[in-house]
């Protein structure tokens, strides 16, 4: 099974999580990431920058989304979780939710086939192979309990209209819930056109927001909660190797870089 286009973007994020697990004190500490990455690409950490920890900001993002998810599930023990654009991330194993939580992992069918090969099946965790914007999948999930939506590294790859329809349809379908996702700035969206990795993968960003809190205006029931730091996260500065900290400190001097990616939480 070969990953195509935007599906290939799962690999640098997984690699960052795999390398994080080798830190003396990891940020995420996901042993699954190391195992799955090795199967996806046995030589992933070879070459000049193969073991570089430059991708650690993406690991911070995963940790924030996990922490928010744990806190939501502590308050809502009976819930549905929609992990959208899940890639090969092992979130359900990291969070290990109670059996009262119905968890759905959703990505393109080809990615879900790989998940089946690399990650064990689990009760109360249902894989769905679909384009997230083909909303037919939404009829397959339980609707009578609060929902937690996690979309890690997904929204920038959707068009604004696609992201809006996706999120507002979910709000319409559930009595209450929380949405956690990341966005990129308008400048980062435009600049990504020249990103060599995006060009290589033929996976471009399709939307960007300078005031992502305003996405609450997309639906009358939606309310902005808060945002967590990513590129300037204290955890990144505490746990990244010194050389990586220096690079981030330098790049964060440019405000456009510091706020190029935002991690956000909304409720309804
Ligand atoms: C940057 S990766 C992030 C993967 C995973 N969430 C993580 O953080 O490790 C983006 C993921 O979104 C998926 N994706 C992008 N657009 C999608 C769509 N329209 N429908 C379903 N999945 C999509 C890709 O296949 C890929 O797995």
211-234: pLDDT as tens digits: 999 999 999 999 999 999 999 999
User: Is 249 exposed, middle or buried (CB count within 10 Å of its CB: 0-12, 13-18, 19+)?
Assistant: exposed
Among 10, 156, 197, say which to mutate for ligand 1: greatest number of ligand atoms within 8 Å of CB. Answer: 10
- Please give the Cα distance from 222 to 177 (Å, whole number): 9
Q: Whose CA is nearest to atom 2 of ligand 1?
A: 10
Q: Could you tell me the residue ranges of all domains in the chain?
A: 5-267
The two structure tokens encoding residue 91: 């979130």
Please tell us whether the domain made up of 5-267 is placed in CATH 3.40.50.150.
yes
164 sits in which H/E element: helix 160-173
Q: What pLDDT, on the 0 to 100 scale, is given for residue 1?
A: 74
Q: Is the pLDDT of residue 195 over 90?
A: no
Q: Is 126 in the pocket of ligand 1 (CB under 6 A)?
A: no
Atom of ligand 1 nearest to the CA of 13: 9
Instruction: Calculate how far, in angstroms, residue 52's C-alpha sits from the geometric centre of ligand 1.
Output: 23
With 90 as the cut, is the pLDDT of residue 2 above it? no
For the CA of 151, the nearest atom of ligand 1 = 6
User: Does residue 86 have its Cβ closer than 6 Å to ligand 1?
Assistant: yes
Is ligand 1 within 6 A of the CB of residue 204? no
Q: What is the pLDDT of residues 87-109, one digit of tens each?
A: 999 999 999 999 999 999 999 99
Question: How far is residue 232 CA from its own chain's centroid?
Answer: 18
Q: What is the pLDDT of residues 136-189, one digit of tens each?
A: 999 999 999 999 999 999 999 999 999 999 999 999 999 999 999 999 999 999
Question: Which contacts (CB < 8 Å, 24+ apart) does range 164-171 have?
Answer: 164/218, 165/133, 165/135, 166/84, 166/132, 166/133, 166/135, 167/215, 167/218, 167/219, 167/222, 168/218, 168/219, 168/222, 169/135, 169/138, 170/82, 170/138, 171/219, 171/221, 171/222, 171/268
Q: Is the CB of 87 under 6 A from ligand 1?
A: yes
């Amino acid at each position: 099974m070969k990953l195509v286009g935007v599906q290939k973007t799962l690999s640098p994020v997984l690699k960052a999580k795999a390398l994080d697990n080798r830190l003396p004190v990891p940020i995420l500490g996901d042993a699954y990431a190391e195992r799955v990455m090795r199967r996806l690409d046995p030589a992933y950490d070879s070459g000049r920058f193969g073991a570089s920890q430059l991708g650690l900001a993406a690991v911070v993002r995963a940790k924030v989304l996990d922490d928010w998810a744990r806190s939501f599930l502590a308050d809502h023990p009976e819930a549905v979780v929609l992990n959208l654009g899940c890639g090969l991330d092992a979130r359900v194993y990291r969070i290990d939710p109670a059996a009262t939580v119905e968890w759905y992992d959703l990505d393109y069918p080809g990615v879900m086939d790989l998940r089946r090969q690399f990650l064990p099946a689990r009760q109360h965790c249902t894989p769905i192979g679909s384009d997230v914007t083909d909303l037919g999948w939404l009829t397959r999930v339980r609707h009578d309990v609060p929902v937690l939506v996690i979309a890690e590294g997904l929204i920038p790859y959707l068009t604004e209209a696609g992201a809006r329809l996706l999120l507002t349809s979910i709000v319409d379908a559930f009595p209450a819930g929380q949405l956690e996702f990341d966005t990129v700035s308008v400048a980062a969206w435009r600049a990504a056109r020249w990103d060599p990795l995006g060009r290589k993968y033929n996976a471009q960003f399709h939307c960007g927001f300078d005031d992502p809190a305003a996405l609450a205006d997309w639906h009358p029931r939606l309310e902005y909660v808060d945002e967590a730091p990513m590129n300037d996260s204290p955890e990144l500065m505490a746990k990244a190797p010194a050389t990586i900290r220096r690079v981030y400190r330098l790049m964060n001097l440019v405000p456009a870089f510091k706020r190029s990616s935002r991690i956000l939480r909304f409720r309804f």
